[in-house]
């Protein structure tokens, strides 16, 4: 799964540590009991790697790695010798003895020195004098030096400079530079104060397109608000609700992204052709071949500058900083020691390896096929239950309505459970969606069968109880799918996270979807880690239910900053099941890994 940044893997009571030899395509693995704290494991695996490679280097080069599969290796004696040496080296090390107070650096400091370093007030008092002296012209410095005795003050100043280290001199110069700029800023900020004090009180802002009459916006006396029977049938434009009329009903289209690879290739050709015309034949040829590596193995020093740029590029595209570092580390371990082709640049090799890693991360081991699972639940004559969870304002209810529309177009009936009993207007929002979906797919078009229905018990009730009642009602009424909407909650709110864990543990849904927006960067990692941790901690089951998949919303608002998709799938190893790309019911897509990586790698 392209997580080579971590060189260890724990399974039950065992821990495995591994090392890659990319030059000869070898993997060295050492396994040991997790409970043992073996300090020599890293040394052992390094020694075995070096010894094995040196011993069979000629055979690797002649036969190749695949040709050695049928061969035998007489390496047992060498391994036992290296193991004994590693064990002995760990025993030879004497335990570290703590220093006495007299041996420490602190004992050599005087009390006065300690007070000055801690408080920093004496330094601040002493510095303005030096700053004043530094601000004076060179002529004043010459006069002061002429007044001073030649044998007294000048040697002491030279001695002070010798005592200061380079870091202390740099720090002092920085402090003086900042003080100069701070004083300049104070002088400029003092002048506008009288003008700012004249304006007192707030004035109401009048918008150009606004309505000054507040009565137009008052809906509090409406008799039909919140009453489904009294509400007249809603009139709306189906084209606005559906978006693209030319689409195939019930199909979930892939996410599309138009890459600019051809334009980039043209630019590269133009840039490489220009130097040859200016500098002549040989100069242009050497300029083009600069940066090419001919049949040499890659080292970490070769890759570090490129990886640093790649890491900054990923962070700029909204990939979480910690994950960007781990990705680059994984690529470095994958490429270190690998022999490159004759006309291949380090940049292109690293970029290609990073692209392959990103595509593999976005294609996890388990793929969620909702339609197949719904049909499987139909055969067992039970409803398929999906629970939506996430933080506030990410679009849970809106995307629940989109998924409802997609399921209805595939011929499945949907029961929406309004388990957000906290947010004002949450039930009314779902009721409006249910009414619109029924208008788009009336019972007459489905043999008199109501395709979507809302199950709600109002506000202030127990969400887990409402979900249980909704699932029971769906089983009795023959609904195919139950979509459970939950209240938005921050990942640090322990009581609300406990309530969510209770809802999932009690009702055991078939699919738990985390709804996250594509706008977040580092926050995506924090949200998913804490949601999963809360579900594990507050669940009473021995194997707690965690997040099964991700719904990525607001994807149409980020242009090519698609890093949140990488962060979420990397941290959970769970697939992105749906991608929300707009406000209409048809703005729902499945993730296309190559399209996302193309947007991510775009300069």
Condensed to tens digits (0 to 9), the pLDDT of residues 483-524 reads 999 999 888 888 888 889 889 988 999 999 999 998 887 788
pLDDT tens-digit series, residues 6-25: 677 787 788 888 888 777 77
Give residues with Cβ within 8 angstroms of 77, minimum separation 6: none
The pair phi, psi for residue 497, each rounded to 5°, is -65, -35
Q: Higher confidence at residue 230 or residue 205?
A: 205
The per-residue pLDDT for 512 is 93
Instruction: Indicate the pLDDT class of residue 398, thresholds 50, 70 and 90.
Output: very high
Please give the Cα distance from 478 to 472 (Å, whole number): 10
The per-residue pLDDT for 400 is 95
Q: Higher confidence at residue 448 or residue 56?
A: 448
Arithmetic mean of pLDDT, 94-122: 66
- Give strand pairing partners of 292: 345
> Three-class SS of residue 578?
strand
Arithmetic mean of pLDDT, 295-311: 86
pLDDT at 123 over 70: no
Please give the Cα distance from 513 to 262 (Å, whole number): 37
pLDDT at 364 over 80: no
Q: Higher confidence at residue 431 or residue 3?
A: 431
Q: Which of 49-63, 206-220, 431-445, 527-541 has the highest mean pLDDT?
A: 431-445
pLDDT at 144 over 60: no
| Alpha-carbon 403 to chain mean position | 25
> Three-class SS of residue 205?
coil
**Using CB atoms within 10 A of its CB, is residue 368 exposed (0-12), middle (13-18) or buried (19+)?**
middle
pLDDT at 537 over 70: yes
By mean pLDDT, which of 215-219, 423-427, 536-540 is the weakest? 215-219
The per-residue pLDDT for 470 is 94
The per-residue pLDDT for 451 is 92
Read off the pTM.
0.63
The per-residue pLDDT for 180 is 76
Arithmetic mean of pLDDT, 318-331: 90
pLDDT at 408 over 90: yes
pLDDT tens-digit series, residues 373-388: 999 999 999 999 999 9
pLDDT at 340 over 50: yes
pLDDT at 468 over 90: yes
First-residue to last-residue Cα distance in the chain: 25
Arithmetic mean of pLDDT, 352-363: 88
By mean pLDDT, which of 173-177, 302-306, 456-460 is the weakest? 173-177
Instruction: Indicate the pLDDT class of residue 70, thresholds 50, 70 and 90.
Output: low
Q: Which of 167-171, 230-234, 430-434, 592-596 has the highest mean pLDDT?
A: 430-434
Instruction: Give residue 2's region: left, alpha or beta (phi > 0; psi -120 to 50).
Output: left
The per-residue pLDDT for 137 is 46
The per-residue pLDDT for 115 is 62
HEC-encoded secondary structure of 459-489: CCCCHHHHHHHHHHHHHHHCCCEEEEEECCC
Arithmetic mean of pLDDT, 117-143: 45
Please give the Cα distance from 110 to 266 (Å, whole number): 69
What is the percent of the chain with per-residue pLDDT over 70, rounded to a whole number? 69
> Three-class SS of residue 322?
helix
Please give the Cα distance from 304 to 306 (Å, whole number): 6
Instruction: Give residue 93's region: left, alpha or beta (phi > 0; psi -120 to 50).
Output: beta
Q: Higher confidence at residue 434 or residue 126?
A: 434
pLDDT at 475 over 80: yes
In this structure, the strands spanning 414-419 and 452-455 are parallel
Arithmetic mean of pLDDT, 430-438: 93
The per-residue pLDDT for 295 is 60
Please give the Cα distance from 314 to 325 (Å, whole number): 9
């Amino acid at each position: 799964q392209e997580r080579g940044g971590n060189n260890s893997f724990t399974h039950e009571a065992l821990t495995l540590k591994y090392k890659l030899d990319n030059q000869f395509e070898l993997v060295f693995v050492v396994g040991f009991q997790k409970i043992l704290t073996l300090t020599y494991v890293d040394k052992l695996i390094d020694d075995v790697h070096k010894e094995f490679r040196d011993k069979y280097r000629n055979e690797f080069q002649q036969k190749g790695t695949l040709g050695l599969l049928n061969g035998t290796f007489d390496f047992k004696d060498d391994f036992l010798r290296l193991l004994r040496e590693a064990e002995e080296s760990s025993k030879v090390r004497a335990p570290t003895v703590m220093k006495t107070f007299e041996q420490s650096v602190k004992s050599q400091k005087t009390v006065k020195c300690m007070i000055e370093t801690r408080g920093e007030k004496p330094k601040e008092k002493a510095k303005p004098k030096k700053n004043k002296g530094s601000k004076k012209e060179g002529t004043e410095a010459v006069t002061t030096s002429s007044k001073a005795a030649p044998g007294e003050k000048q040697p002491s100043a030279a001695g002070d400079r010798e005592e200061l280290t380079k870091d202390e001199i740099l720090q002092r110069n920085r402090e003086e530079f900042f003080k100069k700029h701070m004083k300049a800023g104070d002088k400029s900020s003092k002048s506008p104060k009288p003008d700012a004090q004249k304006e007192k009180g707030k004035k109401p802002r009048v918008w150009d397109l606004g309505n000054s009459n507040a009565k137009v916006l008052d809906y509090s006396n409406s008799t039909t608000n919140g009453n489904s029977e009294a509400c007249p049938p809603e009139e709306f434009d189906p084209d606005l609700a559906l978006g693209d009329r030319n689409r195939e009903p019930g199909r979930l289209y892939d996410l599309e992204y138009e890459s600019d690879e051809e334009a980039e290739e043209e630019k590269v050709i133009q840039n490489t052709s220009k130097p040859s015309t200016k500098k002549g034949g040989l100069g242009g040829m050497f300029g083009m071949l600069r940066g090419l590596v001919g049949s040499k193995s890659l080292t970490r020093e070769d890759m570090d500058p490129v990886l640093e740029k790649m890491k900054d590029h990923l962070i700029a595209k909204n990939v979480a900083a910690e994950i960007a570092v781990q990705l680059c580390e994984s690529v470095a371990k994958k490429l270190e020691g690998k022999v490159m082709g004759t006309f291949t640049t380090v940049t292109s090799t690293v970029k290609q390896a990073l692209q392959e890693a990103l595509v593999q991360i976005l294609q996890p081991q388990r793929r969620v096929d909702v339609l197949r699972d719904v049909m499987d639940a139909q055969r067992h004559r039970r409803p398929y239950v999906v629970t939506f969870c996430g933080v506030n304002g990410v679009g849970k209810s809106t995307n629940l309505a989109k998924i409802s529309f997609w399921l209805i177009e595939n011929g499945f009936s949907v029961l929406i459970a309004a388990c957000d009993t906290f947010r004002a207007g949450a039930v009314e929002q779902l009721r409006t969606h249910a009414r619109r979906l029924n208008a788009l797919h009336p019972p007459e078009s489905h043999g008199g069968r109501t395709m979507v229905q809302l199950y709600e018990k109002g506000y202030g009730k127990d969400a887990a109880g409402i979900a249980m009642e909704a699932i029971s009602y769906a089983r009795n009424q023959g609904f195919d799918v139950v979509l459970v909407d939950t209240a938005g909650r921050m990942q640090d709110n322990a009581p609300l996270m406990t309530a969510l864990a209770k809802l999932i543990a009690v009702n055991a849904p078939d699919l738990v979807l985390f709804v996250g927006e594509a706008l977040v960067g580092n926050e995506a990692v924090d949200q998913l880690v804490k949601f999963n941790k809360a579900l594990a901690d507050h669940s009473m089951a021995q194997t707690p239910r965690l997040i099964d998949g991700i719904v990525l919303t607001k994807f149409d608002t980020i242009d090519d900053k698609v890093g949140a998709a990488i962060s979420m799938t990397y941290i959970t190893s769970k697939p992105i099941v749906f991608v929300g790309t707009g406000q209409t019911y048809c703005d729902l897509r499945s993730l296309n890994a190559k399209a996302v990586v193309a947007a991510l790698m775009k300069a």
